[in-house]
Amino acid sequence: MIIDNRTELIACPYCFKSESSLWATENGFTAVKCSECGLVYVNPRPVEELIGNAVETGIHSNVGHNRTAIARRERSKKKRYKKILSSIFRDVWQNHRKISWLDVGAGYGEILQAICLLAEPGSRIEGIEPMKPKVKKARELGLNINNKYLHDILHDIKDKYDYISLIHVYSHIPDFRKYLKEMKNILEITASCVLKPVI
Ligand SMILES: [Zn+2]
């Protein structure tokens, strides 16, 4: 239910029940806990148009501070991701088989850089990122990142992916049921998915 042009009241995005209790407040927003399934979600939340604008520009126009989500590239992230992914997918790297990997919300490309260092040469390693300044920087580093959303590439993909990663992305998706279905369409049957929500 739209409250005004900027915010809407929603039911639980997972079980669609409306009963909930206050969980926390921050920056003028409220997180509630669903009485049925226990999911914690922001409610009321910005309307989808505002979420989309914030994702593309990094500027959250509906919060009362001047911080943005553009941030900057952090060299230490590449090293940290390489260490973590090296351990999680040790069997993959030891297999020396070419793989295909898509990083969704690839940011400045730190995940892709780590995968490039770990994967067999000749692997297909790609990213998509809606925020233009990040894409520009990542492409200057020679990374294969495009300024697109997942739904933009759904019908263009000729070969499905073996792996897909969403790091600090999943918790920003307004309709994650629809999103998971879209992801399924571009993944091989035996594919793996790496999800790390913001905590
Ligand atoms: Zn629920």
Catalogue all structural domains in the chain, each as residue range(s) with its CATH number.
7-57 (no CATH), 75-196 (3.40.50.150)
Can you give the pLDDT at residue 37?
96
CA–centroid distance, 38 to ligand 1, in Å, is 6
Dist. CA 20 → ligand 1 center (Å) = 8
Residue 175: left (phi > 0), alpha (psi -120 to 50), or beta? Answer: beta
Which positions of the chain have pLDDT values less than 50? none
Phi, psi of 125 (to 5 degrees): -125, 110
Please give the helix or strand (H or E) that residue 7 lies within, else none.
strand 7-8
43 CA to centre of ligand 1 in angstroms: 12
pLDDT of residue 193: 80
Enter the pTM of the model: 0.79
Residue 33: both structure tokens together? 């806990």
Q: For residue 19, how far is its CA from the centre of ligand 1 (angstroms)?
A: 8
Bridge-based pairing of strands 29-34 and 20-26 is antiparallel
132 CB neighbour count, 10 Å cutoff: 13
The pLDDT of residue 22 is 97
Distance 40 CA to ligand 1 centre (A): 8
